[in-house]
A and B are shown apart, each in its own frame.
Chain A
């Protein structure tokens, strides 16, 4: 039986959120945090909020963003788990492909993300990922029999609902209630998460 392990990036693989790090570059960390909070509370739909945040953060050059992203700390045990079985692991992130490239490179595994291009000094978001689509792709096109999904935020709900084994991860911050309702397991610590994943 082939099992695919899918991981959210922000707040699951990374031990701090990525967008605030980029926002700090523009010295608008507080404003970005306010926008994020309003999104997490459900007042703005995720996609609209994400496009808005990208429009703001798009002022930073992709090279500079990638340099910041390359420094974002990753959970040690989870990174080792991924690097030990890169063909079975996938990062599933609403974040942009051109930004998260350094993390994908470190992991050496597959990924699903939103995509954007940077043309004439401007960032254009092309598609925002619906994480459930990643699960369906793995099941239908990539021949995995069983899909395990790990996430922490509201936009992981569709991914956990579509997966065979759903895990809410609270190692960085408390998983949102709507996500917990879709989880079979709740794990609060990296080493414990990896032990559970190895057992499954």
Chain B
């Protein structure tokens, strides 16, 4: 049994679909940036928080210097030619202990992430799932027992009641050498325990509108 000691928030990518010209993590919903909301949610739960930056990094550097001085910023200057998995690998390089890898453009309910992290204390890998919402969802094929959920496989075509939530707890080197999507690396570790999150992501304009409503429900 070991607690989650690190959180790595990926905020390096371009937010091209949303067209705001800034990192998606810096979009404001309900009066706060997505990044600030995520950091504040995680800060009571995880001692070491890392934010991976790239696209318009100076915005996030300045924001964290002002509002979140205790986070460590990890630069990914190759953000134009690398993906989220590679950002995670860069941050994970020197870390020790169980690590939460999470996208910076999602809003997660504090209660569900707390339960998820508690459950993660007893697993070496815990995959985050949520109810399907995305336009290009990666669905999870699961097995449900009294002990909890287990992911058996992922598919973009076979729909299910659970979508990959872009959030996973594992060892710091979980994404080392990964070149594709994060979930593709997870395929190598299936079957794996999974936990459910209540969350909203911000990928498209309609996501943004839904997220604004989601935030008022928290």
Question: What residues make up the interface of A, taking CB atoms closer than 8 Å to B?
Answer: 165, 170, 174, 177, 180-181, 183-189, 191-192, 195-196, 199-200
Contact = CB atoms under 8 A, between A and B. Distances in A.
Nearest to A177: B58
B63 to A, nearest CB: 11
Contacts, number: 41
Given A185-B72, A192-B72, A199 B96 contact: yes
Contacts of A165: 94
Given A165-B94, A180-B61, A195 B73 contact: no
B59 interface: no
A189 B73 CA distance: 12
B65 A185 contact: no
Contact of A174 (B65, B75, B77): B65
Given A180-B75, A184-B74, 6 more contacts: A177-B58, A180-B61, A181-B77, A186-B72, A186-B73, A196-B72
A165 to B, nearest CB: 7
B68 to A, nearest CB: 8
What secondary structure prevails in chain B residues at the interface with A? mixed
A186 to B, nearest CB: 4
B75 A185 contact: yes
List 8 A-B pairs, minimum CB-CB distance, nearest first.
Answer: A186-B73, A189-B69, A188-B69, A188-B65, A192-B70, A200-B94, A170-B65, A187-B72
A200 B48 CA distance: 13
A180 B65 CA distance: 13
Contacts of B65: 170, 174, 188
B133 interface: no
A183 B75 contact: yes
Chain B interface extent, by class: 10 to 19
Contacts of B96: 199
Nearest to B68: A188
B95 interface: yes
Contacts of B57: 180
Contact of B73 (A174, A177, A185, A200): A185
A191 to B, nearest CB: 8
A186 B70 CA distance: 11
Most buried by B among A186, A189, A195: A186
Contacts of B71: 192
Contacts of B94: 165, 199-200
A192 B73 contact: no
27 contacts: A170-B61, A170-B65, A174-B65, A180-B58, A180-B61, A180-B75, A181-B77, A183-B75, A184-B74, A184-B75, A185-B72, A185-B73, A185-B74, A185-B75, A186-B72, A186-B75, A187-B72, A188-B64, A188-B69, A188-B70, A189-B69, A189-B70, A191-B70, A192-B71, A195-B48, A196-B72, A199-B94
A184 B72 CA distance: 10
A189 B96 CA distance: 21
A184 B95 CA distance: 14
Nearest to A192: B70
Contacts of B69: 188-189, 192
Nearest to B64: A188
Contacts of B61: 170, 180, 186
A184 B52 CA distance: 10
B84 to A, nearest CB: 18
A200 B64 CA distance: 22
Interface string B9-53: 000000000000000000000000000000000000000100000
Contacts of B77: 181
B42 to A, nearest CB: 15
A142 B42 CA distance: 41
Given A174-B65, A180-B61, A186-B61, A199 B74 contact: no
B61 to A, nearest CB: 6
Nearest to A189: B69
